[in-house]
Every structure is written in C-alpha cells, then in structure tokens.
C-alpha cells in the first residue's frame, strides 16, 4: 500500500433525519450546508419528501482549512446544525459520519455520533500508518524569486541568440502572415500613365491576396480601337523613351504591375488589361499579391 500524504482528510458516512414541520426549516438546513462548505467540510444535501440526508463526499481534501484540530471543528459544525432542531427532535437524528486525518506516521480516525441527549459525541482512535510529507508549497517570495531567475535566464538566452537570429524580421514575417493587408499599406505609383488614367482608389480582396485598383481614364485616353497609333502619338507627352513605352502599352491595352517589399526588393509582377477604359470611365484591376513578404509598393509601368 502506498504511503498516505500527511495533512490529508477524508470523510465518509452520512447524517439523516426528518425535516422539522415548521416554516424555514429547510432553508436553515441549506444555509448550514453552505456554511459547512465554506469551512471545508464536504457534505452533500439530499431531500426526499420530509426526510433529508447529509452524505459525505469521499474525496480526499486538505485538513489545513479546518485548523489544528479538524475533528473538533467538524463536531462544532454538527452541533450548530443540531441547534436548528428542537431538543426533542435531536435524538432522532442518525449519524454514521467518520473522518480520517493523516498525521506524521499515524491516521486519526473519528466517528461522529448523535447521542440520546441530542448532542454530538466524537469517538477517536489512532492507528499507525505509512505516511509521506505533503509536497512543499512555495511561498509568495519563493515563487517571485523563481520567476525572476527564469526571466533572467530567458533574457540571457535571447541576448545570445539575437546575435545569430534576426528576431525583427522573424516577428515581422509572423505578424504579416496572420494580420490582414490594408490597402493604405501599399503605395501605388502609376505616374507613367498620368496622361491617360489615374488610380482613383485601392482596396483589398480575396483574404489579402488581391489588391484592387480602380482606374479612371482622362480625356486623352483613346476610346476606339481604330487607328490607336494615330490617336496616341499626337498626344505623346514630351517624346521621351518612357513616353514611347507608355504609348505602346496603351496601344496594346496592357500595363505591367510590379510589387516591391519595404526594403525595395522586387517581389514579382503581373500584366493587367486596361483596354476596358475605352468603353468605361472606370475599371478595376485585380492584382495578385503575396503575404510573405508583404508588398509595400506597387509600380504600374509600361
């Protein structure tokens, strides 16, 4: 048999009787059960018609809340219960309640009996038992000290590992993977096509995997498919190479959308069709973007 833990207390048995036939008797009984529970005495109340029973919960509990003499505290509580009954009613209560308290090397067994005089009597015996000390409960100061030691260890490990691990990038990548992309986080530059259209607004769709650009055409944008070269070239701004490439992109009806991260590194590109501006004042471009690394700049170029 394994040793029993010192400081443990177990109860079994029951106390039963008839509920007095007067107003408030059952309420006083329930109040007492609540008081017993607050003291740490595990009893469960059952009412069947005019009778009641207080059944001990056989779970092992700590004897410490009951003070240095738990059996006396239990006796006092039971005596308080009996006082809610008339003197002539008390002898009719029947008790088989017992408790077993584990002390160093011994087990103190107590039986709580309701006598013919209507009082509670306690019969006790002490038997030898194999016991073990209860696990040491840390004090508040010991707990705080342990927390501080572990905190210092963690800070030291973090400081050393920071020489080899880029925690800033690691945490930023983790955050960008779990947080949604906001449209205002991405700067959109379509200045190469300012002569023909502008970006009216941006939004995000498809779980932060698509950046939606709403384009609005200018009066210079050609609205018919016929003679696009003749329609565009006379309006060419400046005659620069960039302008020539922009004219060609408008002529073909496609632009290139390039994504860059916060450090300016190139992430990828996609071609988007803008020919629809010839038929409608505004169109939407749905530009796919990644979440890791997160785009911070979108460049619309020929």
Region 85-111: mean pLDDT is: 93
Domain 183-301, CATH number (from 1.10.150, 2.60.40, 3.30.1490, 2.40.128): 2.60.40
Burial degree of 97 (CB within 10 A; 0-12, 13-18, 19+) = buried
- Beta pairing partners, 114: 120
| pLDDT of 228 over the 80 cut | no
| pLDDT of 80 over the 60 cut | yes
| pLDDT of 291 over the 60 cut | yes
Which of 29-33, 78-82, 137-141, 283-287 has the lowest average pLDDT? Answer: 137-141
Q: Which of 196, 240, 235, 246 is nearest to 218 (CA)?
A: 196
Tracing tokens 């501006």 back to the chain, one arrives at 277
| Contacts (Cβ under 8 Å, ≥6 apart) of 93 | 15, 16, 17, 82, 85, 114, 118
Region 139-148: mean pLDDT is: 75
Pinpoint the residues of the chain covered by CATH 2.60.40. Answer: 183-301
CB 115 within 8 A of CB 106: no
CB 32 within 8 A of CB 39: no
Residue 176's pLDDT is what?
A: 57
Region 269-274: mean pLDDT is: 91
Residue 226's pLDDT is what?
A: 56
pLDDT band at 46 (very low <50, low <70, confident <90, very high): very high
pLDDT band at 175 (very low <50, low <70, confident <90, very high): low
Tracing tokens 């509990």 back to the chain, one arrives at 61
Handedness of CA 300, 195, 185, 202 (dihedral sign): negative
| pLDDT of 178 over the 60 cut | no
Instruction: Give pLDDT tens digits for 124-139.
Output: 999 999 998 877 655 6
Residue 207's pLDDT is what?
A: 75
CB 11 within 8 A of CB 45: no
Query: Please, what's the b/e burial string for 186-212 (b: 16 or more CB within 10 A of its CB; e: otherwise)?
Result: bebebebbebbbebeebebeeebeebe
Pinpoint the residues of the chain covered by CATH 3.30.70. Answer: 4-132
State how far the Cα of 195 lies from the Cα of 247, in Å rounded to an integer. 10
Which of 106-110, 176-180, 279-283 has the lowest average pLDDT? Answer: 176-180
Q: Mean pLDDT for the chain?
A: 84
> 4-132 domain in CATH 2.60.40?
no
């Amino acid at each position: 048999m394994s040793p029993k833990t010192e400081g443990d207390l177990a109860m079994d048995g029951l106390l039963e009787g008839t509920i007095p036939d007067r107003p408030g008797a059952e309420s006083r009984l329930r109040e007492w059960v609540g008081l017993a529970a607050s003291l740490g005495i595990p009893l469960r109340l059952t009412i069947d018609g005019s009778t009641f029973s207080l059944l001990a919960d056989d779970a092992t509990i700590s004897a410490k809340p009951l003070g240095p003499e738990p059996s006396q505290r239990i006796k006092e509580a039971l005596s308080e219960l009996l006082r809610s009954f008339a003197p002539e009613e008390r002898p009719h209560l029947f008790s088989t309640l017992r408790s077993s308290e584990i002390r160093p090397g011994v087990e103190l067994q107590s039986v709580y009996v309701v006598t013919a005089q209507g009082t509670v009597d306690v019969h006790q015996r002490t038997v030898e038992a194999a016991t073990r000390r209860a696990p040491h409960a840390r004090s508040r100061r010991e707990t705080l000290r342990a927390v501080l030691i572990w905190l210092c260890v963690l800070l030291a490990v973090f400081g050393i590992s920071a020489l080899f691990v880029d925690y800033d990038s690691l945490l930023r990548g983790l955050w960008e993977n779990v947080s949604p992309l906001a449209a205002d986080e991405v700067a959109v530059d379509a200045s190469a096509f300012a002569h023909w259209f502008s970006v009216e607004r941006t939004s995000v769709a498809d779980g932060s995997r698509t950046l939606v650009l709403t384009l609005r055409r200018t009066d210079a944008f050609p609205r018919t498919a016929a003679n696009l070269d003749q329609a565009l070239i006379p309006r060419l701004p400046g005659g620069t190479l960039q302008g020539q490439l922009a004219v060609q992109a408008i002529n073909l009806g496609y632009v290139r959308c390039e994504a860059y991260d916060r450090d300016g590194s190139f992430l990828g590109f996609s071609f988007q069709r803008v020919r629809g501006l010839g038929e409608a004042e505004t169109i939407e471009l749905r530009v796919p973007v990644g979440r890791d690394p997160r785009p911070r700049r979108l460049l619309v170029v020929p």
